[in-house]
Amino acid sequence: MVRLTPELIEDSFQYINPVKEYELCLRGYKIGLIENLGATLNQFDTIDFSDNEIRRLDGFPLMTKIKSLLLNNNKIQYVGQNLNQFLPNIENLVMINNNIEELTEIDNLSSLKSLKYLSLLRNPVAALKHYRLYTIYRIPSLRVLDFKRIRDKERQEAQKLYKGKKLKKSEVPRTFVPGEQLDKLSLNQPGAENGQKQQRVERAQPSKEDIDAIRLAISQAKSIEEIEQLNAMLRSGIIPSHLKQRVADDAAKNNQSMVEDE
């Protein structure tokens, strides 16, 4: 396991990402603990911690500039308390394929008052009954959860279900999702490590096709919320296949028009 040292931070790739944010790339180092981020001098809008061994979401100094944290494919199980004191302006938090199990960890995320986009896909917590409604209720600033826009009807449903109630850990309901294996169980099986690697979400630099897909979708967006959701997808590096297909279909139509004109 590698320590996140000031030297590692200084030597890591730093660049302007496709949504014009200054990003620090710390992915794939096998970092086990978030520490020493004071060495960033609060310069970055986005930090990518994907593909490491991080188990806790904490250890941040005051970082007023950070808007996006990408923590895909780690081992995060616990969320620190009072994160808003250290990340007061964070808007986008992507933690796909981690080990968060309990809705009580959502309670800790609720301190992030500026959080608009959250993804906990491929975490055990996402299989719990009422996970979506509970998260919507506990984090009222959210606009998009797991890349799906939150609708007024869902907010009303969440208020009706949870207003005035405090969910105890022992009362957390669980729902089995057929065909889905939780990482915590599968890791004990032979060959599980390779299987887990195959299931991980890869985030490479977006290709030209990916960026074209997002640009096309943005040009056809009907609301500011939809545009912001598309920007969040681009930050996370996860471009839905239907957007790519839309670009392919559009290109095919243009080619057909050219043939007909000839």
Instruction: Report which of residues 73 and 235 the model is more confident about.
Output: 73
Residue 110 has pLDDT above 60, yes or no: yes
Same domain, 135 and 216: no
Distance CA 216, CA 254 (A): 14
Same domain, 123 and 170: yes
Q: What residues make up the domain containing 242?
A: 208-261
Same domain, 212 and 179: no
Q: Give the strand order in the sheet containing 148-149.
A: 13-16, 22-25, 46-48, 68-70, 92-94, 117-119, 144-145, 148-149
Same domain, 101 and 142: yes
Quick one: pLDDT at residue 189?
38
pLDDT digits (tens, 9 = 90+) for 41-59: 999 999 999 999 999 999 9
- Our count of domains for the chain comes to 2
Quick one: pLDDT at residue 243?
60
Q: Which of 183, 218, 242 is a domain's end point?
A: 183
CB of 49 closer than 8 Å to CB of 26 = yes
Lowest mean pLDDT among 65-69, 105-109, 225-229: 225-229
Same domain, 109 and 22: yes
Average pLDDT (80-106) is 95
Same domain, 51 and 177: yes
Quick one: pLDDT at residue 18?
87
Quick one: pLDDT at residue 177?
37
Q: What is the pTM of this model?
A: 0.69
Averaged pLDDT of the chain = 79
Q: Which of 149, 183, 217 is a domain's end point?
A: 183
Same domain, 241 and 170: no
